[in-house]
Structure 1
Amino acid sequence: MRLSVIDHPLVAHKLTALRDASTDSPTFRRLADELVTLLAYEATREVRVEPHPVTTPVAPTTGVRLTSPKPIVVPILRAGLGMLDGMVRLLPTAEVGFLGMIRDETTLQATTYANRLPDDLSGRQVYVLDPMLATGGTLVAAVEYLLERGAVDVTAICLLAAPEGIEVVRSAFDRHAHVTVVTAAVDERLDENGYIVPGLGDAGDRLYGVV
């Protein structure tokens, strides 16, 4: 597993505003969208491309284009939906799948309750969207689910991560070089309820309200 923490002043600025308890839901959604696009720029650094000839107004040249099969973007419901627009803005030709996962608040174990994904992901690069890497259980379950279906390269984009969650993911995929976590920051720790400290609260609730 590889970890990439994006050290950039604009990333830090937007993350600070997201942390602020006084930031309302519409502003939180906008900032999350902008932050995801910045993270996605770094997360897609190794997206696969192939040479492609093109004729400019001046002369022929050779550039690149994304290869087939297309990358697939997978937000984890529900909070991951708040990251989708920012991601597909950068990768508009990517396909989009969905994983519904829920964490038991007592055991902190994640289970899958819904999926909208191809049965065969052979050869696909997959970008998983999950705002908070807290205990790591949800992300490990999601990545295992994708690898079992043939994905060869999985990158998780998270707004925030906790050291405990990173270690859980690292332990699960220690020998898998093609699992990457990209995040804006690694915070101090988890509290007794499994929330990231200082964190930014419950990302789903702050995006969409308490339902």
Structure 2
Amino acid sequence: MQPQPATVTVVDHPLVQHKLTLMRDRARSTQGFRRLLNEIGMLIAYEVTRDLPLEPVTIETPLQAMEGRQIQGKKLVLAPILRAGVGFLDGMLSLLPSARVAHVGLYRDPETLEAVEYYFKAPSDLADRTVLVLDPMLATANSAVAALERLKQRGAQDLRFVCLLAAPEGIARLQAAHPDVPIWTASIDSHLNDHGYIVPGLGDAGDRMYGTR
């Protein structure tokens, strides 16, 4: 029996949808785009970590001892796909300040649209940690598929993919290549155009974030 494709969760919280609409506006400044991406990153991190396991812990409040709960196991790893994935990082680290950070450097060949690796650095114990792979755009999914494969080669087992926008084509490709990796996104847009851009989308997230458009 073939494994079922992993789940896709659309984070439809009003704050996320409001901020996404502001980001789509072509008149949004670089500063505003970058700030909104950080804010949405924090909000999506709240959703993607909702099911993390907890364990009991005994603490002392100012009044008495009590049993509370804390996240079980080793701290998470945030793995942004360079360069645009870094836009999620500060917002997520503000919510998960103890998380480790991996960096996956990939660029999209303009002719073939295939992902080309130029940098990779990650903690050595990925097998013991939940890894959130970050990239604002899930378009062709070439970069996402390559990043997930590279992280699995380093031992990662509990992987979750987090994006701002996804195209149906990208979702299908990622699910076919990595059916064990669930996806979180703020929106599933209409389709990809002939240049591999998400429509209606918001343009190139990296260019808009760094002012290189």
For the Cα contact (< 8 Å) 2:127–2:158, is it kept in 1? Answer: no
The aligned counterpart of 1:172 is 177
TM-score, normalised relative to structure 1 = 0.94
Q: Which moved more, 1:104-113 or 1:116-125?
A: 116-125
The aligned counterpart of 2:210 is 208
**1:34 maps onto 2:39 in alignment:** yes
The aligned counterpart of 1:97 is 102
Match of 1:195 among 194, 197, 201: 197
Deviations 1:85-138 (A, max 9, x none): 011111101111111001112211112110111344222210111010000111
Task: Give 1:65 deviation, angstroms.
Answer: 2.1
- How has the CA–CA distance of structure 1 residues 82 and 52 changed in structure 2, closer, same or farther, with 3 Å as cutoff? same
Q: Which moved more, 1:144-153 or 1:60-69?
A: 60-69
Determine the C-alpha separation between the residues in 2 that align with 1:87 and 1:205: 21
Deviations 1:51-78 (A, max 9, x none): 2111222332222223332211111111
Match of 1:183 among 163, 182, 185: 185
Secondary structure of the corresponding residue to residue 13 of structure 1: helix
Q: Which moved more, 1:147-156 or 1:131-140?
A: 147-156
The aligned counterpart of 1:82 is 87
Determine the C-alpha separation between the residues in 2 that align with 1:51 and 1:180: 27
Secondary structure of the corresponding residue to residue 122 of structure 1: helix
The aligned counterpart of 1:143 is 148
**1:107 maps onto 2:112 in alignment:** yes
Question: Identity of paired residues, percent?
Answer: 50
TM-score, normalised relative to structure 2 = 0.93
Secondary structure of the corresponding residue to residue 34 of structure 2: helix
Gaps of at least 5 residues in structure 1 are none
What amino acid does structure 1 have at the position aligned with 2:185? Answer: T
Q: Which moved more, 1:12-21 or 1:154-163?
A: 154-163
Determine the C-alpha separation between the residues in 1 that align with 2:101 and 2:153: 18
Task: Give 1:84 deviation, angstroms.
Answer: 0.5
Number of equivalences: 208
Match of 2:73 among 61, 68, 77: 68
Consecutive aligned runs of 4 or more in structure 1 exceeding 3 Å deviation:
none
| RMSD across aligned positions (CA) | 1.3
Gaps of at least 5 residues in structure 2 are 1-5
Secondary structure of the corresponding residue to residue 53 of structure 1: strand
The aligned counterpart of 2:3 is none
Task: Give 1:149 deviation, angstroms.
Answer: 1.5
